[in-house]
A and B are shown apart, each in its own frame.
Chain A
Amino acid sequence: MDTALDKSIVNIDEMVLNMGPQHPSTHGVLRLKLHTDGEVVSKIEPIIGYLHRCFEKHCEYLSYEQIVPFTDRCDYLASMHMDHAYSIAVEKLLDIELPERVEYIRVIVAELQRIASHLVAIGTFGLDVGAITPFTWTIRDRERVLDLFEALCGARLLYNYIWPGGVSHDLSPKFIQRTHEFLDYFETQILEYNELLTGNKIFIERTADVGVMPADVAINFGVTGPSLRGSGVDYDLRKTQPYSIYDKFDFNVPVGEGTMGTIGDCWDRYWVRMVEMEESIKIIRQAMASLPNGDVHAAMPKKIRPAKGDVYSRYESARGDVGIFIQSNGKNVPLRLKMRSPAFCNLSVLSEIGEGWMISDVITILGSLDIVLGEIDR
């Protein structure tokens, strides 16, 4: 028996639902055009550009030192990573050697920043599936990381800390002591998050088997970072193309294993972030144990004037693979600076994996991709 509705008699229209740019869970000013049939979403059109600030064009008028505050504002939840990525690119262009202490300090703050950023990702993901308490807990603990950064460089969100050729302030022994205290405290907190959210039956029902991103789809769409590793692809630039001094540390790259459902579902992406925080703790511990003495500034020219040429450097930020391309024509401003934004590529996969799910699931999937609009729009 044919149960399908005869569309010549009944007029069936899709309802276009405009989600955002002012919506509680589009993580900023993302606008999604959802074509819905009842609760089921048949088509997703992400519309971006509401936070566009002409980052790349601005960079063509700024000297290399002045660009750092702008990279800060790209991924405002992981500013250290963006500064670090940019500084590595400039240093590669200049071909200068850094003091070892600088590299260690950079790794310590970058991993602390990864913890802070993943805490926001996990908390807002909980918020997306309707759990409010995990968010306040993760924000409470992120606050401790921000306190550390404040003690380090005076800023809490946009640090301007990692510069081409060094860092702005040296680490104090007090900072190291406080970081140790934080890590000891934070290890127990991870267990609490797991009790509250990770193992919750409702949470598993909402996230496992939802928004499955197979490995080939992830690779084809250029998805990187925890979202890619959630699909079971063991690809982390810190391991595969170690920059800075990551080859000196012993840490694992967690990948999604489909513990609660299929490999590459929302739960796996969430879980990868959870385990990555534990791995970051390991890296910070190792880095602080072997922190050498020395200067925190490399010998740099007064004005950065790289020779003609171009450079492309890659960096594993909290959201994925940040690529910085700089073309220099020998002046103190770059001729062209292009940033490959990981969140932009991660967002592009949303319409592929999100179509056919319900409105609630689209929000879950969007939350599991962990986008930051500052970085997407630049």
Chain B
Amino acid sequence: MTSIVKSIIDSFQSFPIDPFLLAVLAILIPGIIIFLIMAVNALIAVYFERKVSAFMQDRLGPMEVGIFGFKGGKKFWGGIGQTFADAIKLLAKEDIIPNDADKFLMVLAPFIIFTGAFLTFIGLPMSDSLVISNFNIGIFYIIAMSSVGVIGIILAGWSSNNKWSLYGAMRAAAQMISYEIPIALSLILVVLVSGHLDIYGIVQWQSENRWFILHSPFAALGFVIYFVSVVAETNRTPFDIPEAESELVAGWMTEYSGFRWALFFLSEYANMLIVAFVASIVFLGGWLSPLQLIDLPFFDIPDSWMFLDGTIFGIFWLFIKAVILIFCMMWFRWTFPRLRVDQLMYVCWKIFIPFALANVILISIWELIF
């Protein structure tokens, strides 16, 4: 299976180029691509979220700032420039570090969180043969990398030397570490059934059989557990207790401002995209066209109608699925109240983990029988 790193190395091999420079290029180009994906994702997702929340709350949302409408309040494209303006504002803002804070850790923390999200993208395919680097343990790598961020959160909360931040960090640590277990247990289902840790293998299995969510009732339950758990993992309402605005002011990011805060924001939305991608790839057939699901009893759809497949359309389908899931997460956020800490732990340890464990056993039995 080809990957972007491989194709860069292959295409430069014909030139007389220093191997060291080649390695730098092979690291730099994917890095820039990932950063662009994260930045563009944050810009669009923030705008999307503001508009979604606005329409749910009977408002208009950002309407004033257009791309060409900074001056004179000219309305243009429904405030599409708002997030650009916000990004510029955040970059230009004064960076405040409190006097009593642990300066080194406080500066370090946003980068750890950012790195966690950044590294996950390496193993995350955007479509058929569109991946930075292909691992044979892709799912495992993604689970591992997405839990790096919690270290940064604990550091951020501790080093801020603020009681609210400390509470937020304590809550975040408990919550994110707990919810990794149901996430891993639901992703194990697909590994059990398809026999692949490799993401391409998983999608290959789905294209040969059917979408994994349609595999058995246990797989569908696994999807529900996975999706609810990742909402908790990304700290969004109804599980946003680490940053609980009405309780902890802003939780572990209370003392951050400017660019460092922007990095948190960037990572939060990148994490949303990652978990939506993983859910689409593992449970919803990844870049496979949903048209393949159509199975009419008296009419055989010819293969030539399936032109909406392939690499380019794969990107399209994957993004459509991811955007629908992201929309659901926003929908949760703007309609649900927040759970309390102990209730959150109750949901995880007493409901999700037993069910996910039972799921693993039951789906194995299902596989044995059918």
What residues of chain A have their CB less than 8 Å away from a CB belonging to chain B? Answer: 15, 17-18, 23-25, 39, 126-133, 136-137, 140, 196-197, 200, 202-203, 205-206, 358-361, 363
Q: Cβ of B248: which chain A residues have Cβ within 8 Å of it?
A: 359
On chain B, the residues within 8 Å of A17 by CB distance are 163
Given contacts A25-B246, A359-B247, contact A133 B338 (CB under 8 A): no
The winner among A18, A126, A128, A130 for most chain B CB atoms within 10 A is: A130
The answer for the CA separation of A197 and B56 in the assembled complex, in Å, is: 14
In the complex, which range does the number of interface residues on chain B fall in? 20 to 34
B340 near A137: Cβ-Cβ < 8 Å: no
Whether A136 pairs with B57 at a CB distance below 8 angstroms is yes
B residues near A140, Cβ cutoff 8 Å: 58
Q: Give chain A nearest CB distance to B230 CB in angstroms.
A: 18
What is the 8 Å Cβ interface bit string for chain B, positions 238-256, against chain A (1 contact, 0 not)? 1011001111110000000
- Across the interface, do A128 and B246 meet the contact criterion of CB distance under 8 Å? yes
Interface contact B246-A130, CB-CB below 8 Å? yes
In the bound complex, CA of A130 to CA of B245 (Å): 8
Asked if A137 contacts B339 (CB within 8 A), the reply is no
Q: Is the CB of A360 within 8 A of B247?
A: yes
14 contacts between A and B (CB under 8 A): A24-B245, A24-B249, A132-B53, A133-B53, A133-B335, A196-B335, A202-B238, A203-B337, A205-B339, A206-B338, A206-B343, A360-B244, A360-B338, A363-B247
Pairwise interchain contact A130-B337, C-beta atoms closer than 8 A: yes
Write the chain A residue with the least CB distance to B237: A130
Which has the most chain B C-beta neighbours within 10 Å: A133, A137, A140?
Answer: A133
Residues of B within 8 A of A18 (CB): 163
Interface flag for B4 (CB, 8 Å): no
> CB within 8 Å of A: which of B212-265?
237-238, 240-241, 244-249
Residues of B bordering A, CB below 8 Å: 53, 56-59, 163, 167, 237-238, 240-241, 244-249, 334-343
Interface centre among B57, B163, B247 (most CB of A within 10 A): B247
Q: In the complex the two chains form, is B337's CB within 8 Å of A197's CB?
A: yes
Report the minimal beta-carbon distance from B161 to chain A, rounded to whole angstroms: 13
> Among A132, A133, A358, which residue has its beta carbon within 8 angstroms of that of B340?
A358
Q: How far is the CA of A39 from the CA of B167 in the complex (A)?
A: 8
Interfacial chain A residues near B338, Cβ < 8 Å:
129-131, 202, 206, 360
Are B57 and A24 within 8 A (Cβ)? no
User: With A and B bound together, what is the CA distance between A202 and B338 in angstroms?
Assistant: 7
Cβ of A206 and Cβ of B339 under 8 Å apart?
yes
From A22, which residue of chain B is reached at the shortest CB distance?
A: B249
**A17-B163, A25-B247, A136-B58 known; A360-B340 Cβ under 8 A:** yes
Most interface-central of B335, B336, B341 (chain A CB within 10 A): B336
Residue in A closest to B335 when the chains form the complex, CB atoms: A133
A358 touches B337 (CB 8 A): no
